[in-house]
Structure 1
């Protein structure tokens, strides 16, 4: 096997090499231990499997300019960040080698190794942030190029208190930030009444999409105004100048896990300076100055799809 020359030195042991049209390496799997010096610390890419839930070798990815893009690590490494050293098993970079994302753990979830196994290995991470001190088990952290945290994804079992433009709130799933550190979005862990352009609404999504904290249901602009939320607790009665009336509510549908149970799907609401939009539909967008709005209680208990699917 030919030695592979990279900007990080020669790599003697590798397999599954893929290249860009330029001839530069795009991805490869290491088969020997190699120390790589990065701006955030020395790392050793994964070169063998172990009993830590990882039963397959994962590739290291590069940008066409030769810089590291993504590297699963053989063992956890201390990564330098603005918030101190953080232990990581997977790191990702921007194309100029600036740290983009890190995962404290990088196990392989399978039939033999599940979320509970991985969660049991996770350790609390304490971060001093503009929204307060957060201490929790974290799936991943995403960074801006200036080094500030862009988003935090929590393990599903975790909740934390965070200062938001609406006050201190209990959150789960995740939290995202603007580049200056102000809160961009959160996922309330329980219904939380917030003031909006159409009145006070109980913000809560009983089944948040995805497992990443980049985009959460309760969103704010740079000035701290609410720009989007989900609710399972309220319905909205809209009245226009012609005397017409439209009612928007959460709705119910059959559970994917039980034919005998109907689950609640939250009503989604978005705001701009002049309009309100329901359920992400451009045909359901209204000018705030041309309508009146009444917020009422939905009146039906929300059934959480997650808990339905986990009942045995």
Structure 2
């Protein structure tokens, strides 16, 4: 096998090599131990399988400039961060070599190794942030190039209590930040009353789409104003200048588990450029200077989604 020359040294034990047009490696699988020195410490890419739920070798990815992009690690490594040394089994980097994201665990979920196995192995992290000290098991942490935390993704079983522009809130799924450390978005763990340009609305998404902490239903601008949210507990009555009245409410759809069971679909509300927009529809945009709005309680009749049908 041809010895592969890289900026990290010569690699002789590898397979499944893919190259960029420049000739630099794009991806490969290591078959021998190889140490890579990074700005956050030395890491050893995975080169053999173990009994930790990882039954296949996973590739390591590189940028076309030769820098490491993404690497599953053979063993957990302690990564140097502004928040201390954090254990990681998968690391990702920006093109210039700075740390982008780390995953404390990187097992292979399969019929024999599932989410509960990973969660059991996961350890609590303690992170001191402007929104408060977070103690929880996390799936991953994303960083800005300056080393500050950009977002945190929590395990589904976890909730944390943090200080947001709307007050102290219980949060699930994740939380994201602006570069100054202020909260950009959260996923409320329960209905929470927030002040908006429409009035006070109970923010809550019973089925959040995001699986990463950088995408959440309740978002704020850099000054702390609500820019978007989901609600299963509030309706909005819009009165236009022409006298038309329109009501926007959460809706219902058939459950995946039973055609006889209806589930609640959240009402999505955004505030783009002095307007209120409902359900991401351009035809449902209303200018604050031309319309009046009233928030009313939505009487919930349907259930929350369930994906474990019994």
Tell me which interval the TM-score lies in, with the shorter structure as reference length. Answer: over 0.9
TM superposition shift of 1:260: 1.5
- After superposition, what is the alpha-carbon deviation per residue over 1:203-241, rounded to whole angstroms, capped at 9, x for unaligned? 000000031111100000000000000000011110111
TM-score, L = length of structure 2:
0.98
Corresponding position of 1:81 = 81
Corresponding position of 2:107 = 107
- After superposition, what is the alpha-carbon deviation per residue over 1:265-292, rounded to whole angstroms, capped at 9, x for unaligned? 0000001351010011111111011111
TM superposition shift of 1:310: 2.1
Q: Distance in 1 between matches of 2:268 and 2:52?
A: 40
Q: Distance in 2 between matches of 1:184 and 1:136?
A: 19
- 1:157 to 2:162 alignment: no
Q: Is the 8 A contact 2:230 2:267 kept in 1?
A: yes
Q: Distance in 1 between matches of 2:258 and 2:108?
A: 29
Corresponding position of 1:310 = 308
Corresponding position of 2:229 = 229
For structure 2, the 5+ residue unaligned runs are none
- 1:23 to 2:41 alignment: no
Q: Is the 8 A contact 1:233 1:302 kept in 2?
A: no
Q: Is the 8 A contact 2:262 2:302 kept in 1?
A: no
Q: Distance in 1 between matches of 2:128 and 2:77?
A: 21
Corresponding position of 1:291 = 291
- Describe the SS at the equivalent of 1:289: coil
TM superposition shift of 1:311: 4.4
Match runs of 1:1-312 below 5 Å: 1-305=1-305, 308-312=306-310
Q: Is the 8 A contact 2:210 2:216 kept in 1?
A: no
For structure 1, the 5+ residue unaligned runs are none
- Describe the SS at the equivalent of 1:119: helix
Q: Distance in 1 between matches of 2:73 and 2:120?
A: 19
Count, aligned residues: 310
Q: Which runs of 4+ in 1 moved over 3 A?
A: none
TM superposition shift of 1:259: 1.4
Q: Is the 8 A contact 1:58 1:72 kept in 2?
A: yes
Q: CA RMSD in A?
A: 0.9
Q: Distance in 2 between matches of 1:296 and 1:35?
A: 60
TM-score, L = length of structure 1:
0.98
Q: Distance in 2 between matches of 1:42 and 1:12?
A: 19
Q: Is the 8 A contact 1:232 1:302 kept in 2?
A: no
- Describe the SS at the equivalent of 1:290: coil
